[in-house]
Structure 1
Amino acid sequence: MDRYELRAALLAAGVSPDAFQLADAHEYQPVPPDFWFLRPGDGGWEIGPYERGRYRRWRWYATEAEATAALFHILAEHPAP
């Protein structure tokens, strides 16, 4: 899955659109106070939380497909209570 397919899958799963930011596929202005992100980084893809005005890389993946699968797992399959 790519980031455009991830956007559709997360929204279909009922994840709030404010809960995530996907590079060039799903971005907000103004930026919400906290969310999970997916973006290119260091020759691959990174995911992590944006909290208190800072991006914090949590995991790095070699491919977009690996990163999108991981973020879908976090947000749609194991959402916070």
Structure 2
Amino acid sequence: MDRGTLHAVLRALGVRDGHYYIEGVHEPSPLPTDFLYLRRSRAAPDMWETGAYERGAWETVTRHALEESACTHLLRLLTGTGSPPSDGSAP
């Protein structure tokens, strides 16, 4: 799954917009106080990172070589599952 698909899945699951940030796809403005995120790594630009933004600080949880694995990880962090629903309710 890519970032666009992840965003569609999160919306279909009813995850509130202010709970997550997906670089280039879903970037709430102004930024909420805290949220989970997926973005290109600032330390290693060829990698993706997932983490938590709290009190103005981006805290990386994990770096990923592939966008797909980063998307799966953020989905798991936000919903407790690593795959979209299989009942057809999301892309």
TM-score (norm 1): 0.91
For residue 22 of structure 1, what is the aligned residue in structure 2?
22
**Partner Cα separation in structure 2 for residue 45 and residue 54 of structure 1:** 17
Unaligned 5+ runs, structure 1: none
Structure 1 residue 56: deviation in Å? Answer: 0.4
Structure 1 residue 77: deviation in Å? Answer: 2.4
**Partner Cα separation in structure 2 for residue 74 and residue 35 of structure 1:** 11
**Partner Cα separation in structure 2 for residue 55 and residue 67 of structure 1:** 16
Secondary structure of the corresponding residue to residue 14 of structure 1: coil
Structure 1 residue 11: deviation in Å? Answer: 1.0
Unaligned 5+ runs, structure 2: 82-91
TM-score (norm 2): 0.82
Instruction: Figure out how many residues of one structure are paired with residues of the other and give that number.
Output: 78
Which segments of structure 1 move beyond 2 Å, counting only runs of 4 or more?
Answer: none
Alpha carbons 2:21, 2:36 under 8 Å: kept = yes
